[in-house]
A and B are shown apart, each in its own frame.
Chain A
Amino acid sequence: MTVRDEPVVITGIGMTTPLGGSTADTWSALLAGASGTRLLDEDWAADLPVRIAARAAVDPTGVLDRVEARRLDRSQQLALVAAREAWADAGEPGVEPERLAVVVSSGIGGVLTLLGQDDVRREKGVRLVSPLTVPMIMPNGPAATVALELAARAGTHAPVSACASGAEAIAYALDLLRLDRADVVVCGGAEAAIHPLPIAGFAAMKALSKREDEPERASRPYDKARDGFVLGEGAGVLVLERASSARAREARVWAEVAGAGITSDAHHVAAPDPTGAGAARAVVAALRDANAAERDVVHVNAHATSTPAGDVAEALALRSALGADTDHAVVSATKSCTGHLLGAAGAVEAAFAALALHHRIAPPTRNLDDPDDEVTLDIARVDARPLPEQGVALSTSFGFGGHNVALALRTAS
């Protein structure tokens, strides 16, 4: 078997999300259908058009060493917390630094630092601008932070594709292993953009839910009353390696990353192609890459952000890609619980899909009281649903700019 054909598996998972500061805490809250969305009651939020968001449940500055934290943007702090957990979860693979790569994305990068330091510049003058500003705002900052932490020297990457970034990072990690450019790849996404400016920008696009009176009911993918997404923050990191290397060190395998499909719409900079054609092509490509058939798909962790247009386009895309076999797949829209973690979403949700296969359970979808008539999917609603012993799970991610990424995961053999 050539390296190109060797299965790639997930041996480590780490995350810090609005549901919990670790994988275990997040997963148990997700299965319980909890919500991470809260009212923003800070003074700076008072005049915002939308005052709800899903903050990380555990502040990374309370977990990291004080000096370590002050040199990192919040997105980098979150990435570091998740990467440490993932690396420990993988049993700290004894890989040569020259064969260890990092692919950690962020949709926006260090926007809190960027805006915070601009405040410093205006209020206190240019000389007080931190010399760490540039390393803290660069979009490859979370990747560089993780690479420094783990001494990864086989390459450090940060593919940026808005809300598909975290998924694209995993797709790129799969490529690196298949191309034999690394033996272990630490991959995922991190985002921290809960600040008046990004909120104002997303709100100006009419992309955010305004359900301030009921924050926990604001993120409601596929529901008739959905009115936009809830901005969230967090990080998800996976450790990938070839199945042979996982076997050799007797590592626990969560699932196989069997394939990836990446397409672009070239339709509109922000609006999804209403036919879902590009998204469907990504799903088809991921299944082909995984040598899987439509009927193998038992679970879909859908991108489903809770926007009126996006959820329907994705539902159409799934049905177009899977045909009648769509009905065999249990769909979960976990952003109903986590909010939308932007560049971290794809990584966190791929981890959810791996956990779903491993534990044979599809997480519930919160707030789906009255499903949209145009959405004909079998959605896990109030309760988590059992999954078969073997199968393929899809995780889909789409980003402003017309980016479509589908990942195909398979139950570990």
Chain B
Amino acid sequence: MTTATDTDILTGLADIINEISGRPAADVVPTASFTADLDLDSLTMVEVVVAAEERFGVRIPDDDVAQLVTVQDALDYIVRAQVSA
């Protein structure tokens, strides 16, 4: 499958987070922390992860989700996962 670029992934994540949490897409910048900056609770994070898996065709195991602190962490993870997929 074709892999998304960093920009595509960032835009996609911003769309997902906006759809699920109502947080403005513009707030979803690489340095933003999911909890401290974007104020996503643990249930919302589960929804975001599942939506990202669907959208980008990757699998993010629960143990790995805990390591994703910032948006950049998620971007890097998805890029790596797409390459290995």
Q: Note all chain B residues with C-beta closer than 8 A to A67.
A: 20-22
Q: Report yes or no: B22 in contact with A128, Cβ–Cβ below 8 A.
A: no
B16 CB to nearest chain A CB (Å): 13
A70 CA / B46 CA spacing, docked (Å): 15
A268 at the interface (CB under 8 A from B): no
B69 at the interface (CB under 8 A from A): no
Q: Report yes or no: B22 in contact with A131, Cβ–Cβ below 8 A.
A: no
A134 CB to nearest chain B CB (Å): 9
A135 CA / B53 CA spacing, docked (Å): 23
A127 at the interface (CB under 8 A from B): yes
Interface magnitude class on chain B: under 10
By secondary structure, the A interface counts as helix
A284 CB to nearest chain B CB (Å): 48
Binary interface encoding of chain B residues 32-60 relative to chain A, with 1 for a CB under 8 A from any of its CBs, else 0: 00000000000100110010010000000
Q: Report yes or no: A132 in contact with B22, Cβ–Cβ below 8 A.
A: no
Residue of A nearest to B45 (CB): A131
A68 CA / B22 CA spacing, docked (Å): 9
Q: Note all chain A residues with C-beta closer than 8 A to B22.
A: 65-68
Q: Note all chain B residues with C-beta closer than 8 A to A28.
A: none
Residue of A nearest to B23 (CB): A67
Binary interface encoding of chain A residues 106-144 relative to chain B, with 1 for a CB under 8 A from any of its CBs, else 0: 000000000000000000000110111001000000000
Q: Report yes or no: B50 in contact with A132, Cβ–Cβ below 8 A.
A: no
Q: Report yes or no: A132 in contact with B47, Cβ–Cβ below 8 A.
A: yes
Binary interface encoding of chain B residues 18-35 relative to chain A, with 1 for a CB under 8 A from any of its CBs, else 0: 001110000000000000
Which positions 53-76 of chain B face chain A at CB distance < 8 Å? Answer: 53
Q: Note all chain A residues with C-beta closer than 8 A to B50.
A: 127-128
Q: Report yes or no: A130 in contact with B47, Cβ–Cβ below 8 A.
A: yes
A128 CA / B47 CA spacing, docked (Å): 9
A65 CA / B23 CA spacing, docked (Å): 13
Q: Report yes or no: B47 in contact with A131, Cβ–Cβ below 8 A.
A: yes
Q: Note all chain A residues with C-beta closer than 8 A to B43.
A: 131-132, 135
A92 CA / B21 CA spacing, docked (Å): 27
Binary interface encoding of chain A residues 136-171 relative to chain B, with 1 for a CB under 8 A from any of its CBs, else 0: 000000000000000000000000000000000000
A129 CB to nearest chain B CB (Å): 9
Residue of B nearest to A68 (CB): B22
Some 17 contacts from A to B, beta carbons below 8 A apart, are A65-B22, A66-B22, A67-B20, A67-B21, A67-B22, A68-B22, A70-B20, A127-B50, A127-B53, A128-B50, A130-B47, A131-B43, A131-B46, A131-B47, A132-B43, A132-B47, A135-B43
Closest A-B pairs by Cβ, 5 of them: A67-B22, A131-B46, A131-B43, A132-B43, A131-B47
